[in-house]
Amino acid sequence: MAALVRFYPANALSFGDKVAVYFSRWAEFLGDEPREANTEGGVLPAIFGTAAMTLLMVILVAPFGVITALYLREYAKQGRLVSIVRISVNNLAGVPSIVYGVFGLGFFAYAVGGSIDALFFPERLPTPTFGTGGLLWSALTLALLTVPVVIVATEEALAAVPRSMREGSLACGASKWQTIRNIVLPRAMPGIMTGIILAMARGAGEVAPLMLVGVVKLAPELPVDGLFPFVHLERSFMHLGFHIYDVGFQSRNAEAGKPMVFVTTMLLISLIFVMNVVAIVIRNRLRRKFVGSQF
């Protein structure tokens, strides 16, 4: 009896009982931990890991991408060096994602994380704390992967701001930074948000680099809990994309895992859709705020 998960008289259920069973299965899927080699149970750790990794990646990639594009477009002297930098950024967008995973493992996990362990956690060695895959290194790796998208989109958005606005602001006595902060950036923000949306969509669906820098089949602990310091960025995490790969292609009983594969795929698409909708709503509000505000 202890091995029973649920039981109910299937042939004696009313319509209301069937609806209740249906939604109870959805509640289990969204709110419980996986079991039976991930082929049953829920995917709450994978949902949390995917959302946390994507949000952390956006927090890391957005400032770096915007600042880089701002320097290349507004401050750097246009010439051969800037052209080489732009070509390099465009080439980075075509590098296979698994290459970023190898770089993230070697540089972030082994070099940076190993140095952090040697300085701050020597008592735990040879067991690594930061010198292995984790949420932070995964977010940084995907930030590197998606930063070319943000740079290119931000440069195009900055170039679309009319030159007359810059000249009018400078003629009124504003400095170059005041012009950029109060005139250029607000009107370029919809285009910047478009780049961030594209980066977020790509990063949330990537799996290959995460297999090297942090994602695991089953994470015993979430990156966030009630223990100080409450956020543990060094911990490994579960990801919906890797969950699909593991259940569908690495499980001993692939047929039993097919329903989990299909519903997890739908959930991953829905999660990316919701995050994109939120970003698009913010972008459209910014666009309406500055519509018609041209000289």
Tell me the C-alpha to C-alpha distance, in Å, between residue 233 and each of 132, 135, 175, 210, 240: 11, 5, 40, 14, 18
pLDDT digits (tens, 9 = 90+) for 219-237: 878 887 777 777 888 888 8
Alpha helices by DSSP H, 161-253: 163-171, 176-179, 185-205, 210-213, 240-245
What's the CA dihedral at 121, 122, 128, 129 to 10 degrees? 0
230/57 Cα distance (integer angstroms): 19
DSSP category for residue 132: S
User: Binning pLDDT at 50, 70 and 90, where does residue 294 land?
Assistant: very low
Backbone phi and psi for residue 259, each to the nearest 5 degrees, phi listed first: -60, -40
pLDDT at 139: 92
What does the pLDDT read at residue 59? 92
pLDDT band at 94 (very low <50, low <70, confident <90, very high): confident
Gap between the Cα atoms of 160 and 187, Å rounded: 9
Name the band, by pLDDT with cuts 50, 70 and 90, for residue 10: confident
pLDDT of residue 111: 92
Q: Give the whole-angstrom CA distance, residue 71 versus residue 31.
A: 45
Residue 291 is predicted with a pLDDT of 58
Q: What is the average per-residue pLDDT within 17-41?
A: 84
pLDDT for 156 beyond 60:
yes
With 70 as the cut, is the pLDDT of residue 295 above it?
Answer: no
Q: What is the pLDDT of residue 161?
A: 86
Average pLDDT value for the chain: 85
Mean pLDDT value of segment 129-157: 90
- Please return the burial class of 40, using the count of CB atoms within 10 Å of its CB with bins 0-12, 13-18 and 19+: middle
More confident residue, 6 or 141: 141
Domain ranges of the chain: 41-289
Lowest mean pLDDT among 25-34, 65-74, 135-144, 253-262: 253-262
For residue 103, is pLDDT > 90? yes
pLDDT, one tens digit per residue, over 43-93 is 888 888 888 898 999 999 999 999 999 998 888 888 888 889 888 888 888
What pTM, to 2 d.p., does this model score? 0.84
SS3 sequence, 194-210?
Answer: HHHHHHHHHHHHCCCCH
Within a 10 A sphere around the Cβ of 79, how many other Cβ atoms? 8
Nearest CA-CA partner of 163 in 183, 147, 148: 183
Residues 6+ apart with CB under 8 A from 208: 96, 97, 98, 101
The answer, yes or no, to whether residue 8 has pLDDT greater than 50, is yes
- Work out the average pLDDT over 273-280: 83
Contacts of 30 (CB under 8 A, 6+ apart): 42, 43, 44, 47, 267
Query: What is each CA distance from 193 to 13, 104, 251, 278, in whole angstroms?
Result: 50, 26, 39, 11
Q: Which CATH superfamily hosts domain 41-289? A: MetI-like (1.10.3720.10)
Angle between helices 185-205 and 44-70 (to 10 degrees): 140
Residue 285 identity: R
Q: Which residues make beta-bridge pairs with 224? A: 231
